[in-house]
Amino acid sequence: MPEDPRTAPLEKAVHEGMRSSLVGIGSNLVLAVFKCVAGFLGHSFALIADGVESLSDVVSSTVVFFGLKFAIKPPDEDHPYGHGKAEPIASIIVSLALIVAAVFIGAESIQRIKEPHPLPLPYTLWVLLAVVGVKVVLSRYVTSVGTGLESSAVESDAWHHLSDAITSGFAFVGISIALWTRNPAADDWAALCASPVIIFNAYRKLRHPLAELLDAKPSPEIERQIRSIASTVPGVVGLEKCEVRKVGFFYYVNLHVIVDGTISVSDGHSIAHKVEDTVLHDAPRVAEVLVHIEPDEEEQLAKLRRS
């Protein structure tokens, strides 16, 4: 990352994102072991599946941590646009890991529904209540970090935490029904019902980083902000194209600026530099502005007629 005072708040936000990933790694390791042991001793596959899902959370948070660490590296000779693409790649890995975990849970649930097994023990309900509370709090914390950073990887990690809470909620309902009806298969049906919910939301979280990797247009608000800033520069008659793409945490802009067609090349060059400097100063997330000067042909023709 370039040494620029503009980037100081962003760098702080990235480190906060890395810290949230470390918090997720530690908490999920503890929860995974706790849930797997409690599920094994309490005869609850839904709780064991929940523990496996927490283990996948450990993997996802680790991927996010190293993705952010790599994405924040400054540009070099081989990567003139920086390493920001590592961030959406990390997000894609997290979403795919979540889909794999959900498929595993669904497949194992179907197998267990067919096989007789003991009823879950009542104490597993208290375990699940505690887990839901912890994971909801953790998801809200990571979501706030991801929103401030505009990081798809951190936001996907937050959804991973929330999906764990959803899985635990389904498990709680399933175990409750199993204990009430004396039918242990209800526990497995609960795990099975959680699987498609997780897959659907993982797919939703997959679309944004894929679009970013394919250089899709970011939020229209970014373009409006850049147009508004550029139009304030003296000498700018109008704006034609404004193409924006997101690379990691930064935006790269290709801007076509309309100026008086009768001014000199030197004056046009000066206006282009002023536009570039103004946008870079007033929009901290913009890393580069390529300005193309277009003559105002109507104004040029009007002046020729007057002369």
194 lies in the same domain as 227: no
Q: Which residue type occupies 15?
A: H
What stretches of the chain show up as alpha helix (H) in DSSP? Answer: 8-41, 45-71, 86-113, 123-149, 152-181, 185-213, 220-230, 265-282, 297-306
| Structural domain harbouring 87 | 5-213
Q: Whole-prediction pTM value?
A: 0.68
**Once rounded to an integer, what is the mean pLDDT over residues 246-271?**
86
With a cut of 90, say whether residue 300 has pLDDT above it.
Answer: no
Say how many domains are in the chain.
2
The pLDDT, as a whole number, for residue 10 is 63
Q: Which two tokens stand for residue 297?
A: 């042909």
168 lies in the same domain as 245: no
The pLDDT, as a whole number, for residue 2 is 47
Kindly compute the dihedral angle of the four CA atoms of residues 34, 36, 38, 40, in this order, to the nearest 10 degrees: -160
123 lies in the same domain as 253: no
Among 181, 198, 213, the domain boundary falls at: 213
282 lies in the same domain as 137: no
208 lies in the same domain as 239: no
Segment 2-48, tens digit of pLDDT: 455 555 666 677 777 788 888 888 888 888 888 888 888 887 766 77
Among 213, 248, 264, the domain boundary falls at: 213
Among 157, 181, 213, the domain boundary falls at: 213
With a cut of 90, say whether residue 294 has pLDDT above it.
Answer: no
Segment 200-215, tens digit of pLDDT: 877 877 887 888 888 7
244 lies in the same domain as 277: yes
Estimate to the nearest angstrom the gap between the alpha carbon of 52 and the chain centroid: 23
Segment 124-172, tens digit of pLDDT: 888 888 888 888 888 888 888 777 777 777 777 787 778 778 877 877 8
Q: On the CB side of 28, how many CA atoms lie within 13 Å of its CA?
A: 29
Backbone angles phi and psi of 80, in degrees to 5? -65, -20
Task: Give the sign of the dihedral formed by CA 47, CA 49, CA 52, CA 58.
Answer: negative
Query: What is d(CA 195, CA 176) in angstroms, rounded to the nearest whole number?
Result: 19
Structural contact between residues 43 and 117, judged by C-beta atoms closer than 8 angstroms: yes
Query: What is d(CA 162, CA 80) in angstroms, rounded to the nearest whole number?
Result: 36
